[in-house]
Amino acid sequence: MNKIIIGYTGKHIKFLLVENGKKVSFVDQQEYADANIFFLEPKINHKRITELSSIISTVFRKNNFHFDTAGLVLDSRLAYMSMIPVDFTDEAENINSSLIWELSNFYPDTYKNFKISYQRIDSNKDEYAYLGNTLIIAYHKNIAEITRRLSELTGIKFTGINFDNFAAGKYFLGKSEKDFILLGLKQEKTDIMHYLNGEIRNYTGLYKNNETKFGSGEIENILKIPGFSGINKVFIYGEESAVQYGEKINAEYKQTVIENPFSNLSAEGILQDNVSIVPYSFTPLFGLVR
């Protein structure tokens, strides 16, 4: 079965075609408007959607792709994600109200325009109680509409859509990793996810802008939060800045790994023909191949 995965993170549209789960037959990336701007304009920009559809369709047409399924990876900056405490013994209506109230604190004027989902995170250990028991995930309804429109214009039926941090987690879980910390680094955001027994146990998102900056010290503090001392693997993916952060963190975490996902499949020199490709920025796309 051949799988084509398209990723839209930062300012790049990424393409990855894998044949029968064993061979990378195509990889490419093209620069376009920042995903955060493209998806989160106040109103849906139909001109941009047409432009992006044309970029994708042109790549498909020129390379005459043959594939069975298609996946789409989106930038985690497009979603609000946070760990919160929720009382699941309460009535369903009150649980939903708790989720809406959480979102309204951050988007007081637009929270009604968001789709909200959540992942219940249970633990038998009281030491994790302070982290919260629920991962809330919310994204603007326009994102779903834009994705639907892209599918319509390109003729591609996406059978799997995920945000890059969760897709990257799927990649390492597919390699039978159970206990690890996943560190996704972008220019404006860092996603930190703690996994225990193959399940997400904690999530932290750090945002950076002109007023708020974070550095490796703040990241390391989160990596060392109580209750996860038994985890000795830190996997890193993301933009080129991941390398410099990885080198700084290595001093304390001996098993910090910036993995090249292409090395696990037959690529036959495909990266030599695409020198601009940063291998570990494609890790989320490989997560949807499995």
> In this model, does residue 164 exceed pLDDT 60?
yes
Burial code of 179-214, b = ≥16 C-beta within 10 A, e = fewer?
bbbbbbbbeebbbbbbbbeeebbbbbbbeeeeeeee
- Residue 157 shares a structural domain with residue 216: yes
Stated length of the chain: 290
| pLDDT tens, position by position, 196-232 | 999 999 999 988 755 445 555 778 788 888 888 788 8
- Residue 215 shares a structural domain with residue 247: yes
Instruction: Give residue 37's pLDDT.
Output: 87
- Residue 267 shares a structural domain with residue 282: yes
Sheet strands (E) in 39-129: 69-74, 79-84, 114-120
How far is the C-alpha of 14 from the C-alpha of 25, rounded, in Å? 14
Q: Which of 114, 141, 168 is the last residue of a domain?
A: 141
Q: How many domains would you assign to the chain?
A: 2
Q: If you average pLDDT over every residue of the chain, what do you get? A: 88
- Residue 206 shares a structural domain with residue 267: yes
More confident residue, 188 or 31: 31
How far is the C-alpha of 50 from the C-alpha of 32, rounded, in Å? 13
> In this model, does residue 113 exceed pLDDT 90?
yes
Instruction: Give residue 213's pLDDT.
Output: 53
- Residue 131 shares a structural domain with residue 234: no
- Residue 176 shares a structural domain with residue 132: no
Closest among 193, 210, 177 to 290, alpha carbons compared: 177
Instruction: Give residue 284's pLDDT.
Output: 97
- Residue 151 shares a structural domain with residue 51: yes
Cβ atoms of residues 173 and 167 within 8 Å: no
Closest among 288, 285, 282, 233 to 260, alpha carbons compared: 282
- Residue 212 shares a structural domain with residue 184: yes
- Residue 109 shares a structural domain with residue 231: no
Q: Which of 122, 141, 160 is the last residue of a domain?
A: 141
User: pLDDT over 90 for what percent of the chain?
Assistant: 62
Which two tokens mark 156?
């591609």
Closest among 218, 237, 266, 188 to 25, alpha carbons compared: 266
Give residue 252's pLDDT band: very low, low, confident or very high (50, 70, 90): low
Closest among 216, 198, 205, 199 to 256, alpha carbons compared: 216
Domain residue limits at 266? 2-77+142-287
Q: Which of 118, 141, 164 is the last residue of a domain?
A: 141
How far is the C-alpha of 12 from the C-alpha of 28, rounded, in Å? 10
> In this model, does residue 16 exceed pLDDT 60?
yes
Q: What is the CATH number of the domain that holds 175?
A: 3.30.420.40
**For 81-85, 163-167, 268-272, which range has the lowest pLDDT when averaged over its residues?**
268-272
Question: In angstroms, what CA-CA distances link 147 with 78, 161, 164, 282?
Answer: 13, 9, 15, 20
| pLDDT tens, position by position, 35-62 | 988 998 888 999 999 999 999 999 999 9
How far is the C-alpha of 10 from the C-alpha of 5, rounded, in Å? 16
- Residue 121 shares a structural domain with residue 174: no
Give residue 124's pLDDT band: very low, low, confident or very high (50, 70, 90): low
Question: In angstroms, what CA-CA distances link 198 with 129, 135, 137, 160, 280?
Answer: 19, 16, 19, 20, 21
**For 129-133, 137-141, 280-284, which range has the lowest pLDDT when averaged over its residues?**
129-133
How far is the C-alpha of 171 from the C-alpha of 266, rounded, in Å? 16
More confident residue, 187 or 48: 48
Instruction: Give residue 224's pLDDT.
Output: 81
3-state secondary structure of 132: coil
- Residue 194 shares a structural domain with residue 69: yes
- Residue 152 shares a structural domain with residue 269: yes
Instruction: Give residue 264's pLDDT.
Output: 82
Instruction: Average the pLDDT over 72-83 and give the result.
Output: 96
Cβ atoms of residues 163 and 189 within 8 Å: no
Instruction: Average the pLDDT over 144-166 and give the result.
Output: 95
